[in-house]
Amino acid sequence: MKRKCELLGLNRNTAYYQLTKSKTQEKEASDIIVKEQIEQIQLDFPYYGYRNITHAMKRMGRPHNHKKLLRIMRKHGLKSQIIKLFKSYTNSKRKLPRYPNLIKDLTVNQPNYVWGADITYIRLTNGFVYLAAIIDFYTKKIRGWCLSKRLDASLTIEALNKALANNPKPKYHHSDQGVQYCDYDYVGILKDREIKISMSDKGNPYQNNIAESFFKTLKYDEVYLNEYECLEEAFA
C-alpha cells in the first residue's frame, strides 16, 4: 500500500479513505441490486417475509445470507404486504352481558389506572395462533399476555391472570364486546377484584386505540418480517 501511494503521489490517509469509500459504494450498489430482487419476488409473493425470500433466492441461484436480506428489507421498508382487516370476535348468538364505555372522556394520568385488553391473530405457515394482551394505557407497557391456538375465554383469562399476578390492579379494564371479554368467568375475575368494566361501543372497536396501536407496531416491526412454522416458533 505504501509503495502504491508513492507511485500515485497520494498520502496514505487519502488512499485509505478512497479505498474505504470505494468499498462502501460497492456495498451500496450490491444492496440496491438485492433490493430490486426482493421487490421482484414480492410482486409475485406479497406475503413473503425474509425467510421465504431467502429460500426463493436460493432456488433462483441467487443465494444470500438471511441476515443481509433482513437488514435490507428493514432499511428500505420492504414488509410483507399483509392487509390488516378488522375481525370481529363477537358471537351475537350468545346472550352475554355488555358494559358501557366508561373511559370515553377519562383522563389517564397514572400507571395502572386503565388497562386495555385486545386480541389479534398471527399467521403461521399453515394456520393461525392468537395473541391476547393487556396494556397499561398510561405507560404503554404490556401487563400480561397469552399466545394460544384456541380463540376462547381461556386465552384472555390467562393474559388477565398474568397481569394481575405481577402488577397492582387497575381501576378500569377496557376492551371490545367480544365474547372472550364478556365471558362470565372473565367478568367474574374483574368483579371479584373490584375493577370497573368498560367496553367500546358496539361496532366501534377502535375506541380501544392504544391496544390497536400496539398490535400494529408489533406486526410491522416483528411479525410481518418473519414466517412462523408453529406456535412454539411464534412464542420464541
Q: What was the pLDDT predicted at 235?
A: 52
| DSSP 3-state of 5 | helix
| DSSP 3-state of 96 | coil
Burial class (CB in 10 A: 0-12, 13-18, 19+), 181: buried
Backbone angles phi, psi at 148, to 5 degrees: -155, 160
Q: Please, what is the Cα angle at 136 between 131 and 139, to 5 degrees?
A: 125
CA 78: distance to chain centroid?
15
Q: Name the nearest CA neighbour of 97 among 195, 10, 185, 228.
A: 185
Residue written as cell 459504494?
A: 25
Burial class (CB in 10 A: 0-12, 13-18, 19+), 67: exposed
What is d(CA 223, CA 218) in angstroms, rounded to the nearest whole number? Answer: 7
Q: Name the nearest CA neighbour of 229 among 51, 62, 7.
A: 51
Q: How many CB atoms lie within 10 A of CB 9?
A: 7
pTM value?
Answer: 0.57
| DSSP 3-state of 9 | coil
Residue-wise pLDDT for 120-154, tens only, equals 887 776 777 888 999 999 998 999 999 888 888 89
The single-letter code of the amino acid at 149 is K
What residue segments make up the domains of the chain, in order of their start? 2-76, 114-235
What is d(CA 138, CA 117) in angstroms, rounded to the nearest whole number? Answer: 14
Segment (H or E) for 192: helix 184-192
Segment (H or E) for 114: strand 114-124
Per CATH, the number for 114-235 is 3.30.420.10
Distances (CA, A) of 120 to 87, 125, 151, 199: 9, 17, 10, 17
Spans of the chain, pLDDT less than 50? 1, 4-8, 83-93
| Cell numbers found for residue 112 | 395502572
